[in-house]
Structure 1
Amino acid sequence: MSRPTENDAISLADLSATHRDLLWILSQAGPSESGLLHHALTDYYTDRIDQTRVRDSLEELIEHDLVTKQAHDTTEYRLTESGRRALAARQAWQAGTHNVSGGHE
């Protein structure tokens, strides 16, 4: 699979809440192992979340070039620059500071 270009950048609106929450956790915690990410999600969600679902979601984020995976003694996930930009754009949208053109009054 080829890497996405900036023009192909995915909007976080196209991702599931789990994907967005994983990105948010990584932005706050920094590079993390999947077990720590799973623990953070289970502390937040009221429904049970499976470890396999977390790993699959992380792999999908890697495919979108929002997260990278580095394996040393353990496997560590971290945000890419694209991931940071996507989170910043989402935060701007949530804060109402995004640039809207062609909107209705």
Structure 2
Amino acid sequence: MLNNWMLIVLLALSTYISRIIGLEIMAGREMSPPWRLYFNYVPVGIISALMVKQILVPIDGQLAVSFPVLMGCLFTAITIKLTRRFLPSVMFGAMIGWLTRYFIS
């Protein structure tokens, strides 16, 4: 459990620091296309890493797919795509994950 929290804190710090660098140091300057791509994709990369870490769980020395987490993520993504509303989509995905864990798995 501590490792997950340490990962979350380190990823949050790296995101925050990259944003501070982008805002404070590069304010008013023209950014090159590679830097612009970097600053646009850092949050997406961090969220993806957190999701993969939760979906693929180690069991007996091998990686296994957590079906409830996978279902929650898929339903959240579909709902966000259809409704374009973040919080209700996350709540719906969490509910689907919970229902999958307790009634299907």
Give the TM-score normalised by the residue count of structure 2. 0.28
Whichever of the two has the greater Rg, that structure is 2
Quick one: higher RCO (CA 8 Å, sep 6+), 1 or 2? 1
